[in-house]
Amino acid sequence: MIKQDFMEQRRVRWERLEQVLRRLETGRSGKIAQHELDEFVHLYRIACSDLARARSQDLGDDVESYLNAIVARGHKQFRPRTSPDRRRFFEFFTHDFPRAVRAQKWYVLAATLLFVVPIVITAWAVVNDPDIAYSLSDPAQLEMLTDAYAEGHQGGRSEGEDSLMTGFYVHNNVGIAFRCFATGAFFGLGSIFFLVLNGVMGGAVGAYICVAGYSQSFLSFVIGHGAFELTAIVLSGATGIKLGMILVNPGPYSRVDALKMKSRQMINVVLGAAAMLLVAALLEGFWSPSGAAPMIKFIVGGVLWVLVISYLMLAGRVGESR
Partner 1 sequence: MNQVGSLAPVKRISEKVSVQTPEQIQFEFELAGVSARMMAYLLDLLIRAGVISVVSTILVMTTSWASEGLSAGLVLILAFVVEWGYNTLLEWRFNGVTPGKKALGIRVVRTDGVSIDFVRSAMRNFLRAADIFPFFYAAGVLTMFFTGTQRRLGDLAADTMVIREKRSPLRDLPPLPLNPVEIPAGALMQLGIRDRDLMIIDEFFRRRHLFSEDRADEIAAVLGDPVAKKLGIEGGGSELVLAGMLLAGNEVRSSWYGRSTATSIPGASGGAR
Give residues 1-60 in contact with partner 1 (rule: CB under 8 A): 1-4, 6-7, 10-11, 13-14, 25, 42, 45-46, 48-53, 56-60
Q: How far apart are CA 239 and CA 268, in angstroms?
A: 10
Which member of 155, 160, 252, 319 binds partner 1 (CB under 8 A)?
160
Task: Output the smallest distance, CB 162 to partner 1, in A.
Answer: 7
The interface region with partner 1, picked from 107-115, 147-155, 165-173, 195-203 by CB under 8 A, is 165-173
Task: Output the smallest distance, CB 10 to partner 1, in A.
Answer: 8
87 binds partner 1, rule: CB under 8 A: no
End-to-end CA distance of the chain: 65
Which member of 19, 22, 76, 94 binds partner 1 (CB under 8 A)?
76
Which member of 38, 91, 143, 161 binds partner 1 (CB under 8 A)?
161
Q: How far apart are CA 7 and CA 32, in angstroms?
A: 29
Residue closer to partner 1 (CB basis): 94 or 163: 163
Strands (E), 64-222: none
Q: List Cβ<8 Å contacts ≥24 apart for 211-217.
A: 211/126, 211/127, 211/130, 212/130, 212/146, 212/150, 214/146, 214/149, 214/150, 214/152, 216/294, 217/149, 217/150, 217/152, 217/153, 217/294
Residues 174-193 that bind partner 1 (CB under 8 A): 174-175, 178-179, 181-186, 190
69 binds partner 1, rule: CB under 8 A: yes
CB-based contact 101:236 (threshold 8 Å):
no
Dihedral sign of CA atoms 261, 319, 112, 276 in order: positive
Residues 290-319 that bind partner 1 (CB under 8 A): none
Residues 111-130 that bind partner 1 (CB under 8 A): none
78 binds partner 1, rule: CB under 8 A: yes
254 binds partner 1, rule: CB under 8 A: no
